[in-house]
Amino acid sequence: LLLGNITFEEKCTGDINSIGSFISSRDDLHKVSLLIGIDSETLEVAMTTKVIRTSIDDCRIKLCPSSAKEGCDAFAKEIYGSIFDSLTERINGYMGTSSGKEQPEGIGLNNVHVRSKKFKHISIVELFGVESFNVNNFEQLCINYLNECLSLKYVLGTFSFPGDDTPEEISTSDLSDFEKFNIIKDPESRADLKSQLSEESRLTSRIKMVNANIHKSSEFSINHFIDP
């Protein structure tokens, strides 16, 4: 959360080749450095530069404010993912018990061989949340598409019961329309959106210049079933 508060500004020393960026929110930088255990100066250098490693030497390149912010956001996401994985591993460790669901013998976490035991179990569904901005990019497309898939799986797994397994106190609904939901079907068809985007990315700039009509519209919209 603190990394999200960090802001970057352009740093110019008079030489056009030395234009870079610096962290303008010094208080947030200091708080982050204390939590991570890295001094502020080292952390700022790591966030405002990148290292290109060659066979001869390492070259450190200064980043513009927008690139530095992208790297900072990626760092925050990496920390979040590590925390989530750590919590999951610790929860799995504490859930071991002499009663509950039996785990078959096989290969467990970190390729460690586990014997057949009985465990309690808990199911967790992590939803990123549908993102909708004034300008959405490929990241929003991937996140929102994943939410559609998870929502479909959750609804069908929770509210559909095979045959006579439906509890008497629960009224079931017709989910046939939901199963045919176009947002899920279209991206997975042969002429799907992902394949079209992949094909478009392979076109060279010279091919795109052949027909000016290609540049008529470079945007499209998707009507998601889940509200933002």
Q: What is the pLDDT of residue 101?
A: 47
Does the pTM of the predicted model rise above 0.75? no
Q: What is the pLDDT of residue 6?
A: 93
Q: What is the pLDDT of residue 139?
A: 79
Q: What is the pLDDT of residue 107?
A: 44
Q: What is the pLDDT of residue 78?
A: 92
Question: Which residues does residue 23 pair with via DSSP β-bridges, in sequence order?
Answer: 8
Fold classified for 2-76: Four Helix Bundle (Hemerythrin (Met), subunit A) (1.20.120)
Q: What is the DSSP letter of 189?
A: S
Q: What is the pLDDT of residue 20?
A: 87
Q: State the DSSP string of 41-69.
A: HHHHHHHHEEEEE-SS-EEEEE--HHHHH
| Domain assignments of the chain as residue spans, ordered by start | 2-76, 83-119, 138-164+171-215
For residue 48, the one-letter residue type is T
- Going residue by residue through the chain (228 aa), what tens digit of pLDDT does each one get? 899 999 999 986 655 556 789 999 999 999 999 999 999 999 999 999 998 888 888 888 899 999 999 999 999 999 998 998 898 888 877 776 444 445 454 444 444 444 545 556 666 666 666 777 788 887 788 888 888 777 777 777 766 655 555 555 555 555 565 555 555 555 556 566 667 767 766 665 545 555 555 556 667 777 766 654
Q: What is the pLDDT of residue 60?
A: 87
